Every structure is written in structure tokens, then in C-alpha cells.
Structure 1
Amino acid sequence: MTAIQAGLTVLTVLVVPYIVQAIKTKAMGGNTARWLAIAVSALCGALTAMAGGIPTDASAWVTSIFACVGGVQVAYASFKSVGVTDKWLDALLALGDVKKEG
């Protein structure tokens, strides 16, 4: 895994939980959101594997994909357990709501 691939993996691990939580807040339940996170993580892992060119070795694909999927699941569980996703996401989602005074 190159430095660019490692950086993309870390970025994926930190960003995907927030995206999935935002979608979950508005449109889906927990189990569906979990499978969406796994699918998005796998896609990001595949794209990360191709960051340095298309790998010819199957282990490069597996390493990148499972690093992203596992990392996102660990990050989401960690963020959720301390309330980071709820607090930060609620604050970010509230930025678009303008309250009208009555």
C-alpha cells in the first residue's frame, strides 16, 4: 500500500460514517445504513486500490477493500459510542435550517 493509498483509506474511514449517518437520519433504518456503509466502503477501497494504477495482484485489491470496510466499521462504532456522529451531524444538518420567527 502506497502513501497515497493509505491517505485515501484514512480519509474514507473518517468521511463515510458521516455520509451514511446523514443519509440514515433522513431516509433509512440502521440495518440498511450498515449495508450501505459496507457497500460504499468497498467501492472506496476498490478506488483506493486503483490510486497507484490498476493492481495486478489480487492481494492488493483485498487489502485495500478490507482496510476501508473494516476501518469504516470501527470508526462508525467508535464515533457512535461517544456520540460524535449524532452531535456533529445534528449541528451540520441544522446549518441549512433557517428558523422563522412567528
Structure 2
Amino acid sequence: MTDIQAGLTVLTVLVVPYIVQAIKTKAMTGNVARWTAIAVSALCGALTAMAGGMPTDPTAWVTSIFAAVGGVQVAYAAFKSVGVTDKWLDALLALGDVKKGA
């Protein structure tokens, strides 16, 4: 894994939990949100693997994809346990929500 790929993986790990929380609605259950996060992070992992050119070694694909998926799951669990995804992001998302009649 190159420095660029490592940086992209860290960026993915920090950003994807917020993206999933931002699109999460009452219609999206926890399991759907979890699988959405896994799918998005797997895609980001595949794109990260290609950052240094198309990998010819299958282990490069697996390393990048599992690093992104595992990192996102760990970050999401850590963010959730301290209330980052629930309180902070929900508060940020509510900033643009103007209540009528207020």
C-alpha cells in the first residue's frame, strides 16, 4: 500500500460513517445503513486500490477493500459510542431545517 492509498483509506474511514448517517432516514433500518456503509466502503476500497494504477496482484485488491470496510466499521462503532454520529451530525443536519411559523 502506497502513501496515497493509505491516506485515501484513512479519509474513507473518517468520511463514510458521516455520509451513511446523513442519508439515513426513518425508512432505513440499522441493518440497511450498515450494509450501505459496507458497500460504499468496499467501493472506496476498490477505488483506493486503483489510486496507484490498476493492481495486478489480487492481494492488493483484498488489502485495500478490507482495510476500508474494516476501518469504516470500527470508526462507525467508535463514533456511535461517543455520540458523534447521533448528536453532532444530527445537529449539523438540522441547521438547514427551518421550522415554519417559528
Quickly name the TM-score band, shorter chain normalised. Answer: over 0.9
Q: By how many angstroms is 1:100 displaced?
A: 3.6
- Relative to the length of structure 2, the TM-score reads 0.94
The aligned residue for residue 65 of structure 2 is: 65
Moved over 6 A (4+): none
- 2:4 and 2:92 map into 1 onto residues whose CA distance is 28
Name the residue aligned to 1:22: 22
For 2:57 and 2:85, the matched residues in 1 are separated by 36
CA RMSD of aligned residues (A): 1.2
Question: What TM-score, normalized by structure 1, do the two folds share?
Answer: 0.94
Whole-angstrom CA distance in 2 between matches of 1:81 and 1:92: 18
1:87 partner SS: helix
State the aligned residue count: 102
Unaligned runs of 5+ in 1: none
Q: What's 2:4 paired with?
A: 4
- Going by fraction, where is helix more abundant, 1 or 2? 1
Q: How far, CA to CA, are the matches of 2:63 and 2:82 in structure 1? A: 28
Moved more, 89-98 or 44-53: 89-98
Q: Which runs of 5+ in 2 are unaligned?
A: none
